[in-house]
């Protein structure tokens, strides 16, 4: 995910938190495709992915805001 500050990566502390995010994003009409889903060592995250800014446990509401406009 690219943002104004560069490349961002969503990081979740648990599978449950990730599932809740996906469910809410769907409800907002913003389906999310994860490229990778794996357990990461938090102490190595910045070393393993130096080009990314990690966003821990993001809220779908905060990230996407208003529901998506319907396609016509």
Whether pLDDT at 1 is above 60: no
Q: What is the pLDDT of residues 12-47, one digit of tens each?
A: 888 899 889 999 999 999 888 777 777 777 778 888
Q: What pLDDT score does 69 carry?
A: 63
Domain boundaries, the chain: 2-60
b/e map 44-72, b = 16+ CB within 10 Å = eeeeeeeebeebeebebeebbeeeeeeee
Q: What pLDDT score does 4 carry?
A: 54
């Amino acid at each position: 995910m690219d943002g104004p500050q560069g490349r961002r990566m969503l990081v979740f502390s648990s599978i449950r938190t990730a599932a809740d995010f996906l469910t809410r994003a769907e409800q907002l009409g913003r389906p999310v495709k994860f490229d990778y889903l794996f357990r990461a060592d938090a102490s190595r995250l910045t070393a393993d992915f130096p080009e990314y800014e990690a966003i821990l446990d993001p809220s779908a509401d905060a990230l996407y805001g208003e529901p998506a406009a319907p396609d016509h």
